[in-house]
Amino acid sequence: MENRLVRKLESHVRLSAEDVRRLHGLGRQKVRRLRPREDIIREGERPDHAYLVLQGWACRYKVLEDGRRQIIAFLLPGDISDLDIFLPHEMDHSVAAITPIICSEIAREALDGIAGHPRLVEALGRDRLVEAAIQREWTVNLGQRTAIERVGHLLCELFIRLRTIGLSQGNRCEMPLTQTEIADATGLTPVHINRTLRQLRARNLIALHDKELAIPDLEQLKRVSQFNGNYLHLEQAGTPVDGGG
């Protein structure tokens, strides 16, 4: 659903019908499907396409020589992997599917059509700002927060990002990550994630089973996790409505 992208961008800038049409065009490029754990791009490659995630979750990651792995970012539906193909360069990290993925390979030429549309340029620019802000916030998360705060913070972020693109239902959302993946994203071990999740559950801050997350009291989870959502630069126009889907 390329309208996840539309929805995300509209949280920054109001788009015209023409803009929206053009964005839909991005989702109708060469479509690729990947299975969980499959790499979309590998470190060292020189991609000449950007990738728009249509369905499913992916992640950026890096692996150290001895096998330690860090997940650097999560890509949700509507996220675009590598808009910088205008500047050919080697990937310094890899991108892999977490769930089954449907994505659209966006050629350089397809992006040229956007350059003449200031609103779209602005919207994509703002999206990039948010992406950078998220990366900075992860730096803070890994550097300063305790295990509970880290996991709570990550879940807050993911929930709010999903809500923004209409993929939440009330206080619940999909959560396809394994504990090992949460561990790789938070710089903790799977064993410790398991115990941390147990604590969060015991304190009634989250309910998480069968790949589904419920947050009984988001404000409380934010408080416990020292979560301040300003970095997501969302309009303060109140809580978005459910997406029903």
Partner DNA sequence: CGTGCCGTTGACGATATTCAAGTGCAGTGG
Partner DNA sequence: CCACTGCACTTGAATATCGTCAACGGCACG
Contact residues toward DNA (CB under 7 A) are 146-148, 178-180, 187-192, 194-195, 197-198
d(CA 6, CA 123): 10
Who contacts 107 (Cβ-Cβ below 8 Å, separation ≥6)?
A: 29, 30, 48, 49
Q: Which is nearer to DNA, 152 or 166 (CB)?
A: 152
Q: How far is the CB of 193 from a copy of itself (least distance, A)?
A: 13
Start-to-end C-alpha separation, the chain: 11
Q: Which is nearer to a copy of itself, 204 or 228 (CB)?
A: 228
Give 107's strand partners: 49
Of a copy of itself, DNA, none, which one sits near residue 198, judging by CB under 5 to 8 A according to partner kind? DNA
Q: Which of 98, 1, 109 is nearest to 40 (CA)?
A: 98
136-140: list long-range contacts, CB under 8 Å, 24+ apart: 136/231, 137/231, 138/72, 138/73
Which range in 45-53, 121-129, 158-166, 170-178 contacts a copy of itself by CB under 8 A? 121-129
81 lies in the binding site for a copy of itself (CB under 8 A): no
Tokens matching residue 155: 């879940």
Which range in 45-53, 133-141, 157-165, 167-175 contacts a copy of itself by CB under 8 A? 133-141
What stretch of H or E contains 50?
strand 49-55
Among 17, 116, 143, 237, interactor with a copy of itself by CB under 8 A: 143
Q: How far is the CB of 21 from a copy of itself (least distance, A)?
A: 23
Q: Which of 164, 154, 42 is nearest to 97 (CA)?
A: 42
191 lies in the binding site for a copy of itself (CB under 8 A): no
Q: Which is nearer to a copy of itself, 53 or 95 (CB)?
A: 95
Which range in 24-32, 131-139, 199-207, 237-245 contacts a copy of itself by CB under 8 A? 131-139
